[in-house]
Amino acid sequence: MRIVIAGGHGQIALRLERLLAARGDEVAGIIRKPQQDDELRQLGAEPVVLDLESASVEEVAERLEGADAAVFAAGAGPGSGVDRKETVDKAAAVLFADAAVRAGVRRFVIVSSMGADAAHQGDEVFDVYLRAKGEADAYVRGLDGLDWTILRPGQLTDDAGTGLVRLEAHTGRGPVPRDDVAAVLAELVDTPATAGLTLELISGSAPVSVAVKSVAGN
Protein backbone atom coordinates (compact mmCIF):
# COMPACT_ATOMS: atom_id res chain seq x y z
CA MET A 1 0.00 0.00 0.00
CA ARG A 2 0.96 3.64 -0.44
CA ILE A 3 -0.03 5.62 2.64
CA VAL A 4 0.25 9.40 3.07
CA ILE A 5 0.39 10.76 6.62
CA ALA A 6 -0.39 14.36 7.54
CA GLY A 7 1.67 15.59 10.47
CA GLY A 8 4.51 13.33 9.39
CA HIS A 9 6.95 14.52 12.07
CA GLY A 10 4.54 14.12 14.97
CA GLN A 11 5.28 11.67 17.75
CA ILE A 12 2.62 9.17 16.70
CA ALA A 13 3.30 9.64 12.98
CA LEU A 14 7.01 8.89 13.35
CA ARG A 15 6.19 5.61 15.08
CA LEU A 16 3.57 4.79 12.45
CA GLU A 17 5.97 5.51 9.59
CA ARG A 18 8.51 3.14 11.06
CA LEU A 19 5.92 0.36 11.41
CA LEU A 20 4.47 0.79 7.92
CA ALA A 21 7.86 0.97 6.22
CA ALA A 22 9.04 -2.11 8.12
CA ARG A 23 6.11 -4.16 6.85
CA GLY A 24 6.82 -3.10 3.28
CA ASP A 25 4.33 -0.30 2.68
CA GLU A 26 5.27 2.82 0.73
CA VAL A 27 4.95 5.70 3.19
CA ALA A 28 4.99 9.46 2.67
CA GLY A 29 4.91 11.92 5.56
CA ILE A 30 3.78 15.52 5.08
CA ILE A 31 6.01 17.88 7.06
CA ARG A 32 6.32 21.65 7.39
CA LYS A 33 10.08 21.96 7.83
CA PRO A 34 12.64 20.74 5.26
CA GLN A 35 15.13 20.03 8.06
CA GLN A 36 12.89 17.17 9.18
CA ASP A 37 13.59 15.29 5.91
CA ASP A 38 16.43 13.14 7.16
CA GLU A 39 14.58 11.80 10.17
CA LEU A 40 11.73 10.53 7.98
CA ARG A 41 14.12 9.02 5.45
CA GLN A 42 15.90 7.13 8.23
CA LEU A 43 12.56 5.55 9.12
CA GLY A 44 11.97 4.53 5.51
CA ALA A 45 9.40 7.24 4.75
CA GLU A 46 9.34 9.76 1.90
CA PRO A 47 9.28 13.35 3.22
CA VAL A 48 6.78 15.70 1.55
CA VAL A 49 7.28 19.35 2.51
CA LEU A 50 3.92 21.15 2.58
CA ASP A 51 2.30 23.51 5.09
CA LEU A 52 -1.29 22.40 5.63
CA GLU A 53 -2.11 25.78 7.20
CA SER A 54 -1.49 27.57 3.92
CA ALA A 55 -1.79 24.93 1.17
CA SER A 56 -4.75 24.70 -1.21
CA VAL A 57 -6.94 21.65 -1.65
CA GLU A 58 -5.41 21.18 -5.09
CA GLU A 59 -1.86 21.21 -3.71
CA VAL A 60 -2.68 18.62 -1.07
CA ALA A 61 -4.66 16.45 -3.51
CA GLU A 62 -1.62 16.40 -5.79
CA ARG A 63 0.44 14.87 -2.96
CA LEU A 64 -2.28 12.30 -2.37
CA GLU A 65 -2.56 11.12 -5.96
CA GLY A 66 -2.01 7.37 -6.22
CA ALA A 67 -2.28 6.72 -2.48
CA ASP A 68 -4.27 3.79 -1.12
CA ALA A 69 -4.90 5.43 2.25
CA ALA A 70 -4.51 8.75 4.05
CA VAL A 71 -3.92 9.25 7.77
CA PHE A 72 -4.45 12.60 9.50
CA ALA A 73 -2.10 12.62 12.50
CA ALA A 74 -1.30 16.34 12.59
CA GLY A 75 -1.84 18.49 15.66
CA ALA A 76 -1.01 21.96 16.84
CA GLY A 77 0.64 20.51 19.93
CA PRO A 78 0.19 21.18 23.66
CA GLY A 79 2.16 24.43 23.62
CA SER A 80 0.03 26.11 20.95
CA GLY A 81 -2.71 28.66 21.48
CA VAL A 82 -6.36 28.85 20.53
CA ASP A 83 -5.73 30.05 16.97
CA ARG A 84 -3.73 26.99 15.93
CA LYS A 85 -6.32 24.61 17.35
CA GLU A 86 -8.60 26.08 14.70
CA THR A 87 -6.05 26.19 11.86
CA VAL A 88 -4.44 22.77 12.46
CA ASP A 89 -6.69 20.52 14.51
CA LYS A 90 -9.80 21.60 12.61
CA ALA A 91 -9.03 23.40 9.34
CA ALA A 92 -6.06 21.24 8.30
CA ALA A 93 -8.08 18.08 8.98
CA VAL A 94 -10.94 19.41 6.84
CA LEU A 95 -8.48 20.36 4.09
CA PHE A 96 -6.81 16.94 4.14
CA ALA A 97 -10.18 15.18 3.98
CA ASP A 98 -11.35 17.33 1.06
CA ALA A 99 -8.06 16.67 -0.74
CA ALA A 100 -8.43 12.91 -0.21
CA VAL A 101 -11.88 13.04 -1.80
CA ARG A 102 -10.51 15.05 -4.73
CA ALA A 103 -7.62 12.62 -5.20
CA GLY A 104 -9.91 9.60 -5.01
CA VAL A 105 -8.31 8.21 -1.84
CA ARG A 106 -11.22 6.54 -0.08
CA ARG A 107 -9.49 4.99 2.95
CA PHE A 108 -9.11 7.76 5.52
CA VAL A 109 -8.08 7.42 9.18
CA ILE A 110 -8.10 10.44 11.48
CA VAL A 111 -6.43 10.65 14.90
CA SER A 112 -8.85 12.51 17.12
CA SER A 113 -9.02 12.76 20.91
CA MET A 114 -11.11 11.21 23.62
CA GLY A 115 -13.71 13.79 24.59
CA ALA A 116 -13.74 15.46 21.17
CA ASP A 117 -17.16 17.05 20.69
CA ALA A 118 -18.31 19.73 18.26
CA ALA A 119 -20.72 20.95 20.95
CA HIS A 120 -18.09 21.11 23.71
CA GLN A 121 -18.44 24.30 25.74
CA GLY A 122 -15.73 26.59 27.15
CA ASP A 123 -13.06 29.04 26.06
CA GLU A 124 -9.91 27.58 27.58
CA VAL A 125 -7.32 26.23 25.15
CA PHE A 126 -8.21 22.60 25.86
CA ASP A 127 -11.91 23.35 25.42
CA VAL A 128 -11.20 24.87 22.02
CA TYR A 129 -9.05 21.85 21.16
CA LEU A 130 -11.80 19.35 21.98
CA ARG A 131 -14.34 21.41 20.05
CA ALA A 132 -12.01 21.74 17.02
CA LYS A 133 -11.34 17.99 17.01
CA GLY A 134 -15.05 17.29 17.32
CA GLU A 135 -15.88 19.62 14.44
CA ALA A 136 -13.21 17.98 12.26
CA ASP A 137 -14.60 14.53 13.09
CA ALA A 138 -18.14 15.64 12.24
CA TYR A 139 -16.97 17.03 8.90
CA VAL A 140 -15.19 13.81 7.97
CA ARG A 141 -18.27 11.75 8.89
CA GLY A 142 -20.28 13.80 6.41
CA LEU A 143 -18.11 13.02 3.39
CA ASP A 144 -19.57 10.27 1.23
CA GLY A 145 -16.31 10.04 -0.71
CA LEU A 146 -14.38 8.60 2.24
CA ASP A 147 -14.27 5.23 3.98
CA TRP A 148 -13.31 6.87 7.25
CA THR A 149 -12.34 5.57 10.67
CA ILE A 150 -11.95 7.96 13.61
CA LEU A 151 -9.55 6.92 16.39
CA ARG A 152 -9.82 8.66 19.77
CA PRO A 153 -6.94 7.70 22.06
CA GLY A 154 -6.96 8.34 25.78
CA GLN A 155 -4.12 10.03 27.68
CA LEU A 156 -1.00 9.63 25.55
CA THR A 157 2.19 8.43 27.23
CA ASP A 158 5.76 7.74 26.12
CA ASP A 159 5.85 4.41 27.95
CA ALA A 160 6.99 1.46 25.88
CA GLY A 161 4.10 -0.13 24.03
CA THR A 162 2.72 -3.39 25.34
CA GLY A 163 0.76 -4.36 22.24
CA LEU A 164 -2.27 -4.86 24.51
CA VAL A 165 -5.19 -2.45 24.15
CA ARG A 166 -8.87 -1.84 24.65
CA LEU A 167 -10.51 -0.60 21.44
CA GLU A 168 -14.25 0.02 21.54
CA ALA A 169 -16.87 2.63 20.73
CA HIS A 170 -16.68 3.71 24.39
CA THR A 171 -13.84 2.61 26.64
CA GLY A 172 -13.89 5.15 29.44
CA ARG A 173 -10.82 7.24 30.14
CA GLY A 174 -7.35 5.84 30.56
CA PRO A 175 -3.74 6.09 29.34
CA VAL A 176 -2.26 4.54 26.22
CA PRO A 177 1.35 4.56 24.97
CA ARG A 178 1.96 6.31 21.66
CA ASP A 179 3.64 3.09 20.50
CA ASP A 180 0.32 1.27 20.82
CA VAL A 181 -1.63 4.07 19.13
CA ALA A 182 0.69 3.76 16.13
CA ALA A 183 0.29 -0.03 16.11
CA VAL A 184 -3.50 0.31 16.10
CA LEU A 185 -3.36 2.87 13.29
CA ALA A 186 -1.24 0.52 11.19
CA GLU A 187 -3.87 -2.20 11.62
CA LEU A 188 -6.79 0.16 10.97
CA VAL A 189 -5.32 1.42 7.71
CA ASP A 190 -5.22 -2.17 6.52
CA THR A 191 -8.72 -3.04 7.81
CA PRO A 192 -11.34 -1.32 5.65
CA ALA A 193 -14.07 -3.18 7.51
CA THR A 194 -13.63 -0.58 10.29
CA ALA A 195 -14.91 2.17 7.97
CA GLY A 196 -17.70 4.21 9.52
CA LEU A 197 -16.55 3.58 13.11
CA THR A 198 -15.52 6.06 15.78
CA LEU A 199 -13.32 4.18 18.26
CA GLU A 200 -11.84 4.99 21.63
CA LEU A 201 -8.48 3.49 22.59
CA ILE A 202 -6.78 2.88 25.92
CA SER A 203 -4.41 0.25 27.27
CA GLY A 204 -6.08 -3.08 27.86
CA SER A 205 -5.70 -6.83 27.55
CA ALA A 206 -6.35 -7.58 23.87
CA PRO A 207 -3.51 -7.85 21.33
CA VAL A 208 -3.76 -5.04 18.78
CA SER A 209 -4.63 -7.30 15.84
CA VAL A 210 -7.32 -9.08 17.87
CA ALA A 211 -8.80 -5.78 19.06
CA VAL A 212 -9.04 -4.40 15.52
CA LYS A 213 -10.53 -7.62 14.13
CA SER A 214 -13.09 -7.60 16.93
CA VAL A 215 -14.41 -4.11 16.16
CA ALA A 216 -14.27 -4.82 12.40
CA GLY A 217 -16.76 -7.63 12.96
CA ASN A 218 -19.29 -5.35 14.65
Q: Which residues are catalytic?
A: 129
CA–CA distance, 41 with 28 (Å, rounded to integer): 10
Of 79, 81, 30, 76, whose CA–CA distance to 51 is shortest? 30
The two beta strands, 175-177 and 155-157, are parallel
| DSSP 8-class letter at 35 | G
CA–CA distance, 52 with 75 (Å, rounded to integer): 11
Give the neighbor-by-neighbor strand order of the sheet with 206-207: 46-49, 26-31, 2-6, 69-72, 107-111, 147-153, 197-203, 164-168, 206-207
CB atoms within 10 A of CB 34: 9
